[in-house]
A and B are shown apart, each in its own frame.
Chain A
């Protein structure tokens, strides 16, 4: 009788523990998903902040630029011109790098009759995801 009661107690405890583990596993899966989502968002947020900053720098200088490639290179020595496109690569810590890095900043200049337009885009090279885009018009 005593042994039967002990065995029932152990079974009950085991069942309770199994239920706890099951609920814990479900909640843990949800939590990990939420944490990884928050982590991804914070990484993207940092990328966006850096991209907005870089694009703003380029846009600020574009508005007063004298259209000479030499003066552009003096202010932004990290990139190079390829025709009408100026581009610069950045590594994962947003430091300029010569080889193909993690991020690419491209500025395409389009000459019009009244305006000279520039399209600035910052992309993640591996996924080709556009992080930030900015268009500027400047009177010629």
Chain B
């Protein structure tokens, strides 16, 4: 009788222990699941942002300075650059140097180097080319290895924009 009671008592404890372990396992699983979801969501958000910011910046520079054919691709201090000529013989260079996208606003012909430019953001690769007259293709790769490519057209060459997007 006594041994039966003892056996029943140990089964009770074992049952409680099993339930407690199941509870613990579920709690840890949920925590791991939450961590993975959070990681993948923040990773995706970062992927969305970094390369896109660089190409969006180039797009803005081209559209802002899209006046009477003043945008061109040139070589500046040995690096390929996008040059946006502005009033008063000033020029804005946008280029990739030492793993960074840089910008330099200077007077044309001034003694400046690519090192003098203001750092915009770090990138793994950046390339800009004029695929057809007035159409630029910008390709960049961010530090996570995401590639982004955009096509931007220069509208001023046709004497102003006549397009309307809705």
Tell whether B118 is near chain A: CB-to-CB under 8 Å: no
Chain B positions within 8 Å of A64 at CB level: 134-135, 153-155, 157-158
Let me know if B26 and A24 touch, CB within 8 A. Answer: yes
Near B by CB (< 8 A), chain A positions 73-110 give 74-75
Q: Is the CB of B13 within 8 A of A28?
A: no
Contact flags (1/0) for B98-140 with A, using CB distance below 8 Å?
0000000000000000000000000000000001101100000
The answer to whether A42 touches B41, judged by C-beta atoms less than 8 angstroms apart, is: yes
| A-contact bits for B60-88, CB 8 A (1 contact / 0 none) | 00000000000000000000000000000
Bitwise interface map of A from 34 to 66 toward B, beta carbon under 8 Å scored 1, else 0: 011011001101100100010011011101100
B161 within 8 A of partner (CB): yes
Total B residues in contact with A, Cβ cutoff 8 Å: 44
Complex CA distance for A60 and B20, rounded to whole angstroms: 62
Chain B residues closer than 8 Å to A60, beta-carbon distance: 135, 150-153
A116 and B50 CA atoms in complex are apart in Å by 35
Chain B residue numbers with a CB within 8 Å of A31 are: 30, 34
Chain B residue nearest to A133 in the complex (CB): B166
A134 contacts the other chain (Cβ, under 8 Å)?
A: yes
Q: Can you sample 19 A-B contacts with CB below 8 Å? A: A14-B15, A14-B16, A17-B20, A20-B23, A21-B23, A28-B26, A42-B40, A42-B44, A43-B44, A60-B151, A61-B151, A63-B155, A64-B134, A64-B158, A75-B131, A75-B151, A136-B164, A137-B166, A138-B162
* Contact surface of A with B, Cβ cutoff 8 Å: 3, 6, 10, 13-14, 17-18, 20-21, 24, 28, 31-32, 35-36, 38-39, 42-43, 45-46, 49, 53, 56-57, 59-61, 63-64, 71, 74-75, 134-139
Q: A17-B20, A137-B165 are in contact. List 14 more A-B contacts (CB 8 A).
A: A6-B9, A14-B16, A17-B19, A24-B26, A31-B34, A57-B149, A57-B150, A59-B165, A63-B163, A64-B134, A64-B158, A135-B166, A137-B163, A137-B164
**Residues of B with Cβ closer than 8 Å to A?**
5, 9, 12-13, 15-16, 19-20, 22-23, 26-27, 30, 33-34, 37, 40-41, 44-45, 47-48, 52, 55, 131-132, 134-135, 148-155, 157-158, 161-166
